[in-house]
Amino acid sequence: MEFKTINVNGLDTFYREDGDPTKPTFLLLHGFPTASHLFRNLMPMLAQSFHVLAPDFIGFGQSAAPLHTDFDYTFDNLTNYVDGFLSALNVKQFYLYVFDYGAPIGFELAARHPERILGIVSQNGNIYQEGLGAKWADRQTYWQHPTAELRQQYQTAFKAATIKGQYLGGEQPGSVSPDGYTLDIHYTELPDYAERQSDLIFDYQNNVKNYPRFQQYLRDNQPELIAAWGKNDPSFVYQGAQAFLKDDANAEVHLLDGGHFVLESHWQTIGQLILDKWTVSN
């Protein structure tokens, strides 16, 4: 595996790369509050059969993180930078793995460029109202009536205990390494972190508005899709995985005994699902 940085639209994007560049590309898109280190275990497994790329979004991980007053922290803009990243590396087609925030970014890419998508893995990457857990009702109230007090209140999402709970919730004791959440907690301590992430929490309302568009992409294109879901996730509940079946005849659903970060405990299972489905054609 190699660790690289490339300039995209004037900002440095950090990424991890593994596998043979002559093989089909697999693009791995992380979520909140993590970065490309989420895929540290999965990447070597996929590299047997794919060229694997995992970028850090702008404002996350090791990528550039301009102040929220100087950069438009919206999901549409983050998508622009991932799109630019692919262009900079001359990636024409790719398989897509999306998790959490990576889902609206990845499905926006797919809606913009359906001809580029070879297949999709959605791991707790929601694009359905049915998949929104109970906390999202409160978020919708905030979106409709934003106040400085509520913006401050939602910064509890960046607390160390909250992040650790996201990783360990719904998992068997001892099944999740502390490596991932320890690094994520470190990133929350960097300058302006809470402000740029607060901008994204507020902008998430536009992802929900785009859900019908993403679903139309599925109906129109019928991509091969694996929904590999931590069934104990309280944030994006497992009904969001099952909902793929109503729009995509080529979708398959695997409910795994884990939580939001099920890749931490089930990376081998998810990796094998991917290899079993797509390596024959490679």
For 149-178, what is the mean pLDDT? 95
For 110-114, what is the mean pLDDT? 98
Phi, psi (rounded to 5 degrees) for 15 = -150, 160
SS3 173: coil
Instruction: Please give the pLDDT value at position 54.
Output: 98
- pLDDT exceeds 60 at position 147: yes
The tokens for 63 are 């990528």
- pLDDT exceeds 80 at position 168: yes
Instruction: Please give the pLDDT value at position 119.
Output: 98
The 10s digit of each residue's pLDDT in 215-262 is 999 999 999 999 999 999 999 999 999 999 999 999 999 999 999 999
Look up 260 and say whether it is catalytic.
yes
Question: pLDDT exceeding 70 applies to what percent of the chain?
Answer: 99
Query: Class of 2-278 per CATH?
Result: alpha beta
**Amino acid residing at 66:** P
CA pair distance 268, 232, nearest whole angstrom: 18
The CA distances from residue 269 to 42, 152, 165, 229, 243, in Å, are: 10, 38, 22, 11, 22
To the nearest whole number, what is the mean pLDDT of the chain? 96
- pLDDT exceeds 80 at position 282: no
- The ranges assigned to domains in the chain are 2-278
- pLDDT exceeds 60 at position 280: no
Choose the catalytic residue: 37, 51, 68, 260: 260
Question: pLDDT exceeding 90 applies to what percent of the chain?
Answer: 95
The CA distances from residue 87 to 9, 23, 71, 82, 180, in Å, are: 11, 17, 21, 9, 29
Q: Which residues have CB under 8 Å from 108's CB, separation 6+?
A: 75, 76, 79, 210, 214
Whether the ω angle into residue 33 lies within 30 degrees of 0, i.e. cis, is yes
Instruction: Please give the pLDDT value at position 135.
Output: 85
CA pair distance 83, 175, nearest whole angstrom: 35
